[in-house]
Amino acid sequence: MFYLTHPRHVARVLRQFDADTTRSPALDVSEDDKAYSVTVDMPGVAKEAVKVRVEGRRVHIETATAEAAAPTDGSRVLYRERRAASYARSFSLPIEIDQSQSQARFDNGVLTLSLVKRVAENGGELTVN
């Protein structure tokens, strides 16, 4: 069993929560015949800060939270665990995405993407010459 008794061990564990570290948010992906549904947890993030980019089959999600402002009412911070954080996640899907018909919604720290699958032109058939 591993115990955090040495300061070096504690510092190493706490570094994973450092503001400079990019976190990889948890996500779920499901699909039906027409679209993929992606749900991503990003607590403490403002809707305006979320950026979603789709390039063919590849989806990129990025965002960052701001550092809490120093108190202006004369009080002082004694202890702080909440810090600025950045989230980034990229993944590929089996079929290309139609950006014009896809949608993104952000509610209560959860990003929900409805990514419509691109339909092959000509019904997927080739012309025989």
pLDDT tens per residue, range 69-89:
777 787 887 777 767 778 899
Q: Which CATH class is domain 21-68+83-119?
A: mainly beta
**Helices H / strands E in the chain, number of each:** 1, 8
Q: What is the pLDDT of residue 60?
A: 94
Across-strand partners of 116? 35
Give per-residue pLDDT as tens, 1-56: 455 566 666 666 655 555 556 778 889 999 999 999 999 998 878 889 899 999 99
Rg of the chain over CA atoms, in angstroms? 21
Q: What is the pLDDT of residue 2?
A: 54
Report CA-CA distances (Å) from 92 to 61, 95, 97, 110.
12, 9, 10, 20
Give per-residue pLDDT as tens, 2-13: 555 666 666 666
60 sits in which H/E element: strand 58-64
Q: Can you give the residue ranges of every domain in the chain?
A: 21-68+83-119
Q: What is the pLDDT of residue 1?
A: 47
